[in-house]
Structure 1
Amino acid sequence: MNIKIEATLREKGKKSDLNNYRRKGFIPAVIYGEGKVGINILLNKIDFMKNYKKSIGEVAFFDFDLSGKKISTFIKEKQVHPVSRDFVHIDFMELHKGTTITLEVPLHYKGIAEGTKEGGALEILHHTLEISCLPKDIPDEIEIDVTNLKIGDSIHFREIELSEGVTSSMTEATTLVAVRAPKKEEVVEEVEAIEGATTEGEATEGEAETSEPDAAE
């Protein structure tokens, strides 16, 4: 997915300057290129977030037109406010046709796991995968079929076949998805509750009987 983004050039500023931009409704950002000095820009927060939300769950490229120069990028890193979760800074990386890039692509889990029909729960441990490849080889997503998974089964990274030209540094033994056994619930039978109540009642009566002689004296 390619998304056109409007941006304004800005001077490299101090922390106070960046906070001032944020208060005015902008997100400070930088576009980095191979062996180039970063380009400092401002993004309209409302407009950018509208476009960003369209890209969630997909591989997205953000296209800028800065002073007549068109630049195609992807998000390399984003900083998020710890409380509001708003974006406070974004690093974009420029795409170059012959240069390998590293980015995250979504993992799409296909099918209904057999184990879930027996009461098991499908647990997805990874929703994305970090890969490295040339821009022309970037997959839209990586599909994983979970249909044959029974309770106790799992799929590891080593079982995933990546397309030609695509690599990943993920450890081969990493579990991507698994079907867990249903949790056992402790059931207290009504009979046990009744027996417990009877025992308590008998003890109370015994105490009452032993107290009668004292009362007579």
Structure 2
Amino acid sequence: METGTIKVTKRAIVNSRVNKKLRKSGLLPGNISGKGMESISVTVNESELRKGITSHGKNAIFNLSIDEGNDYTVMIKDIQISPVKGSPVHVDFQRVSMTEEIKAEIGIKFKGIERIESKRLLLVRQIDIIPVKGLPQDIPDEIEVDVTNMNAGETVCISDIVFPEGIIPEIDLEQVVVSVNEPKRADIETETDEASEVENEL
């Protein structure tokens, strides 16, 4: 697995007023934490962080280069988002070892949604992420679930998904991930009425 590199700087002063100034200048406050170490407060360039995630993925392994010469192998544990502006306000990095399992969350990518829609069926997503554990270098950003050949009344559970080798789901195996349903009668009648109105206008 390719490792991304992100330069961070240690923070000497930690308070909300300083954090606000940092964000205005394009920097994000954050911290590095991990087993057997004290948390380190840092700042990271928001643009550089975005580029790293775009290039390598949110669950990628990153090498954090601190200006004093110390490097840390980390994964992004969490990015806090402002509920008002929708922009990141804080990032948590988790120090990892390539030989120790960690817990993470992977996204779900559905393949074949257009086929479901062509059959006038409804795809109902029950969950958006799957908690898993495994070695850091084996954890993917997302897992693909193929719904192409699903019909009304069918479901996909966690137990139906083939995970990469070494990745173990940390969730009930009977948890429904997605189901396919027929649209409610009211939805069909609404679509029919709308179609009739268009025809009458023509």
**TM more than 0.5:** yes
Q: Secondary structure at the match of 1:72?
A: strand
1:59 aligns with 2:63: no
Please identify the structure whose Cα radius of gyration is greater.
Answer: 1
Alpha-carbon deviation of 1:122?
2.6
Q: Secondary structure at the match of 1:21?
A: helix
Q: Is the 8 A contact 1:104 1:130 kept in 2?
A: yes
Structure 2 residue aligned with 1:180: 181
Residues 71-112 of structure 1, C-alpha deviations (whole Å, 9 max, x = no match): 221111221111111111111001202221111223233345
* Cα distance change, pair 127–173 in 1 and its aligned pair in 2 (3 A): same
Q: Is the 8 A contact 2:113 2:123 kept in 1?
A: no
Measure, in 2, the Cα distance between the counterparts of 1:13 and 1:124.
Answer: 40
Q: Is the 8 A contact 2:123 2:179 kept in 1?
A: yes
Q: Secondary structure at the match of 2:163?
A: coil
Measure, in 2, the Cα distance between the counterparts of 1:177 and 1:113.
Answer: 15
Structure 1 residue aligned with 2:96: 95
Alpha-carbon deviation of 1:29?
0.5
Measure, in 2, the Cα distance between the counterparts of 1:25 and 1:112.
Answer: 38
One-letter amino acid matched to 2:59: V
Tell me the TM-score normalized by structure 1.
Answer: 0.73
One-letter amino acid matched to 2:64: F
One-letter amino acid matched to 1:184: I
Measure, in 2, the Cα distance between the counterparts of 1:45 and 1:16.
Answer: 18
One-letter amino acid matched to 2:130: L
User: Sequence identity, in percent?
Assistant: 27
Structure 1 residue aligned with 2:18: 17
Alpha-carbon deviation of 1:113?
7.4
Q: Secondary structure at the match of 1:30?
A: strand
Residues 171-199 of structure 1, C-alpha deviations (whole Å, 9 max, x = no match): 233221222213322466xxxxxxxxxxx
* Cα distance change, pair 54–83 in 1 and its aligned pair in 2 (3 A): farther
Q: Is the 8 A contact 2:126 2:176 kept in 1?
A: yes
Measure, in 1, the Cα distance between the counterparts of 2:104 and 2:34.
Answer: 15
* Cα distance change, pair 82–73 in 1 and its aligned pair in 2 (3 A): same
Structure 2 residue aligned with 1:110: 111
* Cα distance change, pair 21–114 in 1 and its aligned pair in 2 (3 A): closer
1:76 aligns with 2:80: no
The structure that is strand-richer by fraction is 2
Q: Secondary structure at the match of 1:31?
A: strand
Alpha-carbon deviation of 1:149?
0.6
* Cα distance change, pair 45–164 in 1 and its aligned pair in 2 (3 A): closer
Aligned residues: 187
Alignment of 1:197-216 (within 5 A): none
Alpha-carbon deviation of 1:54?
4.1
Q: Which runs of 5+ in 1 are unaligned?
A: 189-217
